[in-house]
Amino acid sequence: MRPEGYDYDTYSRLAGPLTEPSGASYQVQYNSLLSREPHRIRAILLMSLAPVLTAALLVYLVWPTHWVEREGGQEWMVGLDVTMLIAIGLIELFMVVNVASVAHATLVARDPIPVVPEAGTRVAFLTTYVPGKEPLSMVRATLEGAVNVTHTGPGSVLDVWLLDEGDDEQAKALCAELGVRHFTRHGVPEWNRPKGVHKARTKHGNYNAWIAMHGGDYDFFASVDTDHVPLPNFLERMMGYFRDPDVAFVVGPQVYGNYHNPVTKAAESQQFLFHALIQRAGNRYRAPMFVGTNNVVRIAAVKQIGGLYDSITEDMATGFELHRHRNPVTRTHWRSVYTPDVLAVGEGPASWTDFFTQQMRWSRGTYETLIKQYWKAPFTMPPGRLFSYTLMLVYYPMTAVNWLLGIMSCFLFLWFGASGTQVAASVWLMLYSDAAALQIGLYLWNRRHNVSPHEPEGSGGLAGMAMSALSAPIYLKSFGEALIRRPSRFVVTPKGGDASPDRVMTFRIHLFWAILLGTSLAASVILDHTHAAMRTWAVLAMVISLAPLGVWVGSLLKERRERRSLLGGARTLDTAEPALATTGAGPSVSGTTTGGN
């Protein structure tokens, strides 16, 4: 169910009013976000100066005259110094790439101009169900929302389907009650394979089985995750872009309706840059990323590549494959469209366990795309599109490696006194503070493009920035598993009231890094390896590592205080009721006694 008190109607029309397409041959048209801004000069200055100053800091730190030179023949220390220098250089280089990516996205971000849908299209509205993993009440809310979606026009067809992994009797009864069509691949061996497009117990395997059986009856399928309730204008706002024959899919932003939960709030804020900026920048190259939570897909395009791709993140991998291929009718590369319209409201991770699992899966899927698919792109993907995808795909590995290099730098200095570069503290502080201020300024300037109906207007998104920082150890673990080719498996994120409970072991990865940093700080005191900047970074990294555990412990203490308060109130009532009864009986007894006298 969608929570009350939020203006979903306005946010479902962020791209603007529906228009009639002009001309005989339609192509999706766009409006630049920057062109609509009254203070473009300020934005251009931020976009220009932030990466320039960050690059200046990089050059200053690794300039040859600043390299450490040791005397005395300690070759092993020279080796550590060189390692430190390389680590510092890579950390700053990755920072330059990140800042340049945000600046580039700010420059090119654009929204599509909505057009009215074409009449006569056949659409299947799909969602999946895994019995035992997803509550049937949630499935009901999603199906009720789908049944209320409008798709009008002469010859237009809209059928709602539930893709049931377990052939569940209660699910069948629900479908019959709501007038929804039921499909299952349960018990069909060719649709339940150990791997591939029909892999068992996966979302893409479920969808591909439906496409094999019923895909030929429709032109498009719309889909939402089981925990996402579509708005009535879902198709009205998405289908018009398919007038362009080269559009393979249209996607919208992901927002979380269970916004009362603190983890969920921060998780939605963390996605701000992707949904408010990076995806809009993808529109510049007609290639925003495929997001599986809510979308509409041209069935012919998916069939051309053999179905949804076999990956732990099948949506991103499928979109990547589609963008490498051409429409066989027009010989033009398939395109995609991202609309900022919020057209479905879902559920986000409600516990740290589920949040870490989600981040592990998303990052692992990105690494798999880089390892298995990316090498084909230079030969099959237009340069601009390849550039856009590259900026999106390098986020997780750069964040993971940055975390490792930062910890390693702290470790080498605090334990051994290694130092790759010697610079004037005043110059370093000036360059660093200016670069950091410009980076934060660029981030905050882009907050005006936020597509979340839940975050308060004018909020700085600090919780999202914190969630990104403390996710780095998760990305590093996932990166390591991808490099050693450790098998990954698709995990259905618990939904509804079935959120995974948090325990101390939930934070074992973060605790490992916190213990390593704490031990290193203690060693630096004993070994007299003192440097304010290195110790400051170690403390900050330790705070980041301990933050999730601290938030969890704080929430437990808050819940305990609330329970005690409720129990205290209940005891007050329990003790007050007999007193009231005695007081009430007193006059009666006294009166009787008096009357008896």
How far does CA 589 lie from the centroid of its chain? 70
Q: Tell me: do 215 and 332 sit in the same domain.
A: yes
Average confidence (pLDDT) over 403-420: 93
Q: Tell me: do 123 and 180 sit in the same domain.
A: yes
In-domain check, residue 312: yes
Q: Which two tokens stand for residue 336?
A: 């995609």
Residue 597 pLDDT exceeds 50:
no
Residue 249 pLDDT exceeds 80:
yes
In-domain check, residue 189: yes
Least confident of 503-507, 514-518, 565-569: 565-569
**Phi, psi of 344, deg, nearest 5:** -155, 145
Residues 421 and 85 sit within 8 Å (Cβ to Cβ)? yes
Helix (H, G, I), strand (E, B) or coil at 469: helix
Q: Which two tokens stand for residue 203?
A: 């979302």
Q: DSSP 3-state helix, strand, coil percentages of the chain (rounded to 5)? A: 60, 10, 30
Residue 10 pLDDT exceeds 50:
yes
Q: Tell me: do 82 and 170 sit in the same domain.
A: no
Q: Tell me: do 425 and 530 sit in the same domain.
A: yes
Residues 496 and 456 sit within 8 Å (Cβ to Cβ)? no
Angle at CA of residue 95, ends 93 and 101, nearest 5°:
105
How far does CA 348 lie from the centroid of its chain? 10
For residue 230, give the nearest of 289, 158, 148 by alpha carbon: 148
Q: Tell me: do 478 and 517 sit in the same domain.
A: yes
Q: Tell me: do 505 and 446 sit in the same domain.
A: yes
Angle at CA of residue 167, ends 163 and 171, nearest 5°:
70
Average confidence (pLDDT) over 406-425: 90
Query: What is the rounded distance in angstroms from the CA atom of residue 149 to the CA atom of residue 239?
Result: 12
Residue 582 pLDDT exceeds 50:
no
Return the C-alpha torsion angle 76, 82, 83, 89, nearest 10.
Answer: 170
For residue 447, give the nearest of 124, 66, 82, 106 by alpha carbon: 106
Q: Tell me: do 412 and 288 sit in the same domain.
A: no
Of residues 538 and 497, the one with the higher pLDDT is 538
Per-residue pLDDT, 116:
96
Residue owning tokens 């066989």 = 328
Average confidence (pLDDT) over 90-116: 96
For residue 477, give the nearest of 343, 357, 302, 321 by alpha carbon: 357
Residue 590 pLDDT exceeds 60:
no
The CA-atom distances, in angstroms, between 513 and each of 523, 524, 551 are: 15, 16, 17
Per-residue pLDDT, 490:
62
The CA-atom distances, in angstroms, between 205 and each of 116, 128, 164, 312, 336 are: 33, 11, 12, 11, 22
Q: Tell me: do 326 and 420 sit in the same domain.
A: no
% of the chain beyond a pLDDT of 90 = 78
Give the count of beta carbons closer than 10 Å to the beta carbon of residue 296. Answer: 25
Q: Tell me: do 55 and 144 sit in the same domain.
A: no
H-run or E-run covering 117: none
Q: Which two tokens stand for residue 372?
A: 């298995």
Residue 498 pLDDT exceeds 60:
yes
| Residue after which a domain boundary falls, among 349, 373, 407 | 349
Helix (H, G, I), strand (E, B) or coil at 71: coil
Residue 592 pLDDT exceeds 50:
no
Please, which pLDDT band fits residue 422 given cuts at 50, 70 and 90? confident
How far does CA 403 lie from the centroid of its chain? 19
The CA-atom distances, in angstroms, between 226 and each of 133, 146, 204, 262, 452 are: 11, 11, 14, 22, 20
Q: Tell me: do 215 and 321 sit in the same domain.
A: yes
Residue 37 pLDDT exceeds 90:
no
Give the count of beta carbons closer than 10 Å to the beta carbon of residue 315. Answer: 22
Query: What is the rounded distance in angstroms from the CA atom of residue 458 to the CA atom of residue 204?
Result: 39
Query: What is the rounded distance in angstroms from the CA atom of residue 317 to the CA atom of residue 311?
Result: 7
The CA-atom distances, in angstroms, between 68 and each of 425, 430, 531 are: 15, 21, 15
The CA-atom distances, in angstroms, between 470 and each of 46, 224, 359, 441, 509 are: 26, 29, 11, 21, 11
Q: Which two tokens stand for residue 595?
A: 């009357």
Average confidence (pLDDT) over 174-180: 98
Residue 445 pLDDT exceeds 80:
yes
**Phi, psi of 345, deg, nearest 5:** -120, 125
Helix (H, G, I), strand (E, B) or coil at 322: helix
Domain that holds residue 496: 34-109+396-549
In-domain check, residue 592: no
Q: Tell me: do 199 and 238 sit in the same domain.
A: yes
Helix axes 532-596, 462-470, angle to 10 degrees: 120
Per-residue pLDDT, 591:
39
Give pTM, 2 decimals.
0.91
Helix (H, G, I), strand (E, B) or coil at 166: coil
Please, which pLDDT band fits residue 500 given cuts at 50, 70 and 90? confident
Least confident of 356-360, 471-475, 509-513, 582-586: 582-586
> Residues near 438 by Cβ (< 8 Å), separated by ≥ 6?
46, 49, 50, 53, 54
Helix axes 472-483, 352-372, angle to 10 degrees: 40
Query: What is the rounded distance in angstroms from the CA atom of residue 130 to the CA atom of residue 125?
Result: 17
Per-residue pLDDT, 596:
42
Query: What is the rounded distance in angstroms from the CA atom of residue 450 to the CA atom of residue 26?
Result: 29
In-domain check, residue 378: no
In-domain check, residue 492: yes
In-domain check, residue 388: no
> Residue 146 maps to which CATH number?
3.90.550.10
Mean pLDDT of the chain: 91
Residue 485 pLDDT exceeds 90:
no
Per-residue pLDDT, 57:
94
Query: What is the rounded distance in angstroms from the CA atom of residue 560 to the CA atom of residue 550?
Result: 15
Average confidence (pLDDT) over 253-262: 90
Q: Tell me: do 296 and 405 sit in the same domain.
A: no
Residue 364 pLDDT exceeds 90:
yes
Alpha-helix runs per DSSP H in 453-531 = 462-470, 472-483, 508-527
H-run or E-run covering 553: helix 532-596
In-domain check, residue 585: no
Query: What is the rounded distance in angstroms from the CA atom of residue 173 to the CA atom of residue 152?
Result: 27
Please, which pLDDT band fits residue 589 given cuts at 50, 70 and 90? very low
Q: Which two tokens stand for residue 462?
A: 């600090």
Per-residue pLDDT, 536:
87
Q: How many domains does the chain have?
A: 2
Average confidence (pLDDT) over 573-597: 41
Please, which pLDDT band fits residue 72 given cuts at 50, 70 and 90? low
In-domain check, residue 356: no
Per-residue pLDDT, 593:
37
